[in-house]
């Protein structure tokens, strides 16, 4: 306990005095010297013990058929857990520090680097390579800002492996634990959690529950659970998106809830669907369109689907759209589209929607729909 408290005091104290000198390094070197001089190991202090020296041997591991079944068994357990932890921790760490210093972050490049690093680890018989949040914080806290920090670390590690593994045997395990503890505490982003709670309470509870699972169960289980919960939350939002009707006021188009079935022009209703259309929300789309046509202030002659937020239409939603097309046609209501993306338009063609509504039913934006509707009204006064 005493060694741990002194180590923590050294690490935190050096940060207050100067950030140019890494307190963790001072604590490790100082405690190795004290442990060796005072022979702490004989006094019951747990130390690191003998550390193998020399550089790793590069080459393929020795394998025979008897080792294949155990290796395959590891793939579904330890290997998969490591994969999940590496992907999640590395991406989260890189994203957090790139945001901290307003730098660009390319997750694909990061994954390529991790792949090459783990390939090297496999050929040299070392630990797996991970974008460790604790070690990243250690480098960041010591002032490392570029690749020079990594190159310096490589040189120092090689020097230690060749010449200084003997002194490492005297390092108390409590010192290592204390250094990691301080780094872990610094990684707890209380201000960030407050911000999440203020802006997105659902995600705050997911983060809090994930943290609890890390403590009570394990890291890989918590990451998998967080992924599942996040996907369920995404599906929940997509299941019942907040759609709207668009109206024009003083030359500007703005949104109203679908419970206010207003019309952009007399007889023209513009309905905005705020999510990709798929089997889970297709019924909501059908119900809202049917209700809007029943409760509108005036009989609807043109019904416009504003599809700027629709990034995809699945098979079930396509079937619902065809049904809506037929219902509107039976009521002599023209069905048109505004702001359909270049990815969604081929889907509508494939589902037969274009054949039902016609090639002329697609407009770039709502303003074009209004202009076409007014022109149609001039040509056909009975519809005005």
List the chain pLDDT tens, one digit each, 384 residues: 999 999 999 998 888 887 777 888 889 999 999 999 998 988 889 998 888 888 888 888 777 788 888 878 777 777 887 887 888 888 888 888 888 888 888 888 888 999 999 999 889 888 888 888 877 877 887 778 888 888 988 898 889 888 888 898 999 999 999 998 988 888 788 888 888 889 888 889 998 999 899 889 887 788 888 888 888 887 877 778 889 888 877 667 778 888 877 888 888 999 999 999 998 899 899 999 988 888 766 788 999 999 999 999 999 999 999 999 999 999 999 999 999 999 999 999 999 999 999 999 999 998 899 889 988 764 443 333
32 and 88 together in one domain: no
Q: Where are the alpha helices (DSSP H) in the chain?
A: 2-17, 23-38, 68-74, 80-100, 107-124, 133-141, 147-163, 165-168, 173-187, 190-199, 201-216, 219-239, 279-295, 315-330, 344-350, 353-357, 366-379
211 and 249 together in one domain: no
229 and 156 together in one domain: no
State how many domains the chain has.
4
- pLDDT the model gives residue 46: 92
Q: What SS3 class is residue 247?
A: strand
Q: Residue 67 falls within a domain, yes or no? A: no
Yes or no: say if 293 and 303 are a contact pair by the CB < 8 Å rule. Answer: yes
Instruction: Tell me the pTM.
Output: 0.59
Q: Residue 64 falls within a domain, yes or no? A: no
Q: Residue 61 falls within a domain, yes or no? A: no
- pLDDT the model gives residue 380: 40
- pLDDT the model gives residue 69: 83
154 and 124 together in one domain: no
Full domain range(s) for residue 166: 1-49+147-188
Q: Residue 136 falls within a domain, yes or no? A: no
Closest CA relative to residue 120, chosen from 75, 79, 59: 59
Q: Residue 352 falls within a domain, yes or no? A: yes
Closest CA relative to residue 161, chosen from 61, 78, 56, 68: 56
261 and 370 together in one domain: yes
* Region for 241 from its dihedrals, namely left if φ exceeds 0, alpha if ψ lies in -120 to 50, beta otherwise: beta
202 and 171 together in one domain: no
151 and 223 together in one domain: no
265 and 217 together in one domain: no
The Cα 333–Cα 327 span in angstroms is 9
SS3 per-residue string spanning 302-339: EEEEECCCCCCECHHHHHHHHHHHHHHHHCCCEEEEEC
- pLDDT the model gives residue 147: 86
Sign, Cα dihedral of 160, 165, 166, 172? positive
Q: What is the pLDDT of residues 322-357, one digit of tens each?
A: 999 999 999 999 999 999 999 999 999 999 999 999
Closest CA relative to residue 9, chosen from 25, 21, 23: 23
The Cα 32–Cα 306 span in angstroms is 69
- pLDDT the model gives residue 381: 39
2 and 35 together in one domain: yes
């Amino acid at each position: 306990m005493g060694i741990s408290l002194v180590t923590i005091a050294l690490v935190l104290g050096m940060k207050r005095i100067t950030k140019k000198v890494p307190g963790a390094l001072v604590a490790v070197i100082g405690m190795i010297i004290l442990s060796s001089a005072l022979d702490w190991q004989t006094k019951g202090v747990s130390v690191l013990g003998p550390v193998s020296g020399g550089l790793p041997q590069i080459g393929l591991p020795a394998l025979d058929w008897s080792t294949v079944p155990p290796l395959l068994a590891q793939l579904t357990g330890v290997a998969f857990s490591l994969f999940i932890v590496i992907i999640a921790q590395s991406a989260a760490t890189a994203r957090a520090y790139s945001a901290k210093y307003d730098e660009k972050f390319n997750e694909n490049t990061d994954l390529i680097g991790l792949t090459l690093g783990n390939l090297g680890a496999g050929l040299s018989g070392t630990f797996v390579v991970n974008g460790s949040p604790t070690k990243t914080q250690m480098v960041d806290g010591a002032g490392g800002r570029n690749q020079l920090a990594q190159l310096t670390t490589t040189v120092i590690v090689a020097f230690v492996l060749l010449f200084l593994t003997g002194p490492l045997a005297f390092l108390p395990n409590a010192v290592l634990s204390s250094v990691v503890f301080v780094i872990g505490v610094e990684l707890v982003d209380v201000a960030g959690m407050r911000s999440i709670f203020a802006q997105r309470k659902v995600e705050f509870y997911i983060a809090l529950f994930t943290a609890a699972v890390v403590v009570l169960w394990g890291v890989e289980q918590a990451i998998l659970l967080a992924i599942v919960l996040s996907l369920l939350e995404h599906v929940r939002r997509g299941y019942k998106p907040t759609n709207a009707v668009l109206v024009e006021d003083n030359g500007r188009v703005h949104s109203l809830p679908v419970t206010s079935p207003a019309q952009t022009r007399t007889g023209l209703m513009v309905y905005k669907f705020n999510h990709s259309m798929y089997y889970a929300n297709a019924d909501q789309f059908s119900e809202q369109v049917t209700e809007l046509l029943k409760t509108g202030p005036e009989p609807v002659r043109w019904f416009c689907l504003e599809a700027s937020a629709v990034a995809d239409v699945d098979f079930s939603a396509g079937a619902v759209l065809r049904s809506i097309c037929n219902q509107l046609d039976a009521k002599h209501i023209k069905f048109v589209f505004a702001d359909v993306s270049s990815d969604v338009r081929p889907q509508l063609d494939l589902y037969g929607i274009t054949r039902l509504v016609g090639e002329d039913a697609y407009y770039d934006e709502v303003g074009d729909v209004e202009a076409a509707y007014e022109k149609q009204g001039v040509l056909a006064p009975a519809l005005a």
